[in-house]
């Protein structure tokens, strides 16, 4: 793979990752957000594959396969089935801040991401390193979604955007973490999502809805 193709592919998939995250913040329909999450996972897997081909590392290609299965097939599949079960797909949710404000916040967070990723740029002038701010931006977007959405599924999506961001930084800076850690981390994320999904189901049977504004009994 020539240098320019490599740089372009890293830029392309980094761009798709960022675009999907922006669209997730913009859209309100939960089923649309799940589809976007699947696309984002695909972009992350493609990014890992590009890095793997570039470095000729079979391990990274295996990891790309894992990421593809987990983030494009398994997690979105689980989420969309749960959304369908709860009939939440039809419901538009009202975040704490309106769309204009959240898009404005996104642009500020993107600037912030470029500022805070400066210490990371010491790692070299490879196109992959230059794309690190994308990962940081994803982490910050994930926080935004977690902080401003009140529906249980939306918080779950925020958590997964955050996780994709951390994954992006990991692959771009270090070519991923050691395989055993990568496997453990993937398994953990899968189980956390599974647990949150079960809890969501229990919350909706108990409260009649999965709106987290109802969770106010425990306080001091």
Taking CB under 8 A as the binding criterion, the range among 6-14, 32-40, 51-59, 200-208 that sits at the site for another protein is 200-208
Nearer to another protein, 5 or 123 (CB): 123
Provide the minimum distance between the beta carbon of 168 and another protein in the complex, in angstroms, as a whole number: 10
Q: With binding defined as CB under 8 A, does residue 217 bind another protein?
A: yes
Residues 82-141 that bind another protein (CB under 8 A): 116, 119-120, 122-123, 139
- 3-state SS string over the chain? CCHHHHHHHHHHHHHHHHHHHHHHHHCCEHHHHHHHHHHHHHHHHHHHHHHHHHHCCHHHHHHHHHHHHHHHHHHHHHHHHHHHHHCHHHCECCCCCCHHHHHHHHHHHHHHHHHHCHHHHHHCCCHHHHCHHHHHHHHHHHHHHHHHCCEHHHHHHHHHHHHHHHHHHHHHHHCCCCHHHHHHHHHHHHHHHHHHHHHHHHHHHHHCCCEHHHCCCCCC
Provide the minimum distance between the beta carbon of 215 and another protein in the complex, in angstroms, as a whole number: 4
Q: With binding defined as CB under 8 A, does residue 23 bind another protein?
A: no
Q: With binding defined as CB under 8 A, does residue 215 bind another protein?
A: yes
Nearer to another protein, 22 or 203 (CB): 203
Q: Which residue has the tokens 């320019």?
A: 4
Residues 134-173 that bind another protein (CB under 8 A): 139, 143, 146, 152, 155, 159, 162-163, 166, 169-170, 173
27's CB contacts (< 8 A; 6+ apart) are: 33, 36
Selected binder of another protein within 92, 125, 206, 213 (CB under 8 A): 206
Identify the sign of the CA torsion 59, 65, 66, 67: positive
Q: With binding defined as CB under 8 A, does residue 58 bind another protein?
A: no
Taking CB under 8 A as the binding criterion, the range among 77-85, 86-94, 95-103, 203-211 that sits at the site for another protein is 203-211
Binding site for another protein (CB under 8 A): 116, 119-120, 122-123, 139, 143, 146, 152, 155, 159, 162-163, 166, 169-170, 173-174, 177-178, 180-181, 184-185, 187-188, 191-192, 195-196, 198-199, 202-203, 206-207, 212, 215-218, 220
């Amino acid at each position: 793979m020539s240098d320019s193709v490599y740089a372009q592919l890293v830029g392309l998939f980094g761009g798709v990752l960022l675009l999907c995250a922006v669209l997730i913040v913009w859209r309100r329909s939960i089923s649309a957000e799940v589809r976007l999450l699947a696309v984002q996972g695909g972009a992350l897997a493609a990014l890992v594959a590009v890095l793997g081909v570039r470095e000729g590392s079979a391990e990274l290609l295996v990891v790309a396969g894992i990421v593809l299965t987990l983030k494009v097939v398994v997690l979105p599949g689980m989420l969309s089935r749960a959304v369908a079960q709860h009939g939440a797909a039809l419901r538009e949710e009202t975040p704490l801040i309106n769309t204009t404000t959240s898009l404005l916040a996104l642009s500020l967070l993107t600037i912030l991401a470029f500022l805070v990723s400066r210490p990371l740029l010491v790692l070299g002038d490879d196109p992959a390193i230059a794309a690190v701010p994308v990962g940081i931006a994803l982490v910050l977007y994930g926080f935004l979604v977690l902080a401003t959405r009140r529906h249980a599924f939306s918080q779950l999506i925020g958590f997964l955007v955050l996780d994709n961001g951390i994954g992006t930084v990991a692959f771009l800076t270090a070519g991923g973490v050691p395989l055993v850690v990568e496997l453990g981390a993937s398994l953990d994320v899968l189980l956390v999502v599974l647990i949150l999904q079960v809890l969501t189901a229990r919350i909706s049977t108990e409260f009649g809805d999965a709106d987290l504004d109802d969770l106010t009994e425990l306080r001091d």
